[in-house]
Amino acid sequence: MSWQAYVDDHLMCEIEGNHLSAAAIIGHDGSVWAQSANFPQFKPEEINAIMNDFNEPGSLAPTGLHLGGTKYMVIQGEPGAVIRGKKGPGGVTVKKTSMALIIGIYDEPMTPGQCNMIVERLGDYLLDQGY
């Protein structure tokens, strides 16, 4: 299966009538493996800051998580495994695997829990597959 199919079929899928706004699978080096058409154009330093927070949990809390120029307030995640951010009625979930970052961006009516479930389910599957 192509990486794009993982984004299209597993991240941008419908859950209880809702969809993520955007999603991507990005290598630890910031290279895009696959992304939805409307995933924001991010800066390499944004990915570096996210990777740094996985290595040093809490480092993003003072500044916020930035992705495509949008600032998200960092909320409770799983240190070293999942970073969650909130902005107004929407937010972002980032799951780290051995080789990639699985990123899902959502807006109402999707709930944070639905976004977490979609992103973390694929992340756990890819971890099991050695990615």
Give tens-digit pLDDT for 64-119: 999 999 999 999 899 999 999 999 999 999 999 999 999 999 999 999 999 999 99
Percentage of the chain exceeding pLDDT 90 = 98
- pLDDT value of position 76: 86
Kindly report the three-state secondary structure assignment for every residue of 3-72: HHHHHHHHHCCCECCECCCEEEEEECCCCEEEECCCCCCCCHHHHHHHHHHHHCCCCCCCCCEEECCEEE
- pLDDT value of position 2: 94
CATH superfamily membership of 3-34+41-58+76-128? Dynein light chain 2a, cytoplasmic (3.30.450.30)
How are beta strands 100-106 and 82-87 bridged, if at all?
Answer: unpaired
Q: 112 with 106: CB under 8 angstroms?
A: yes
Chain-wide mean pLDDT for the chain? 97
Confidence band for 37, pLDDT divided at 50, 70 and 90: very high
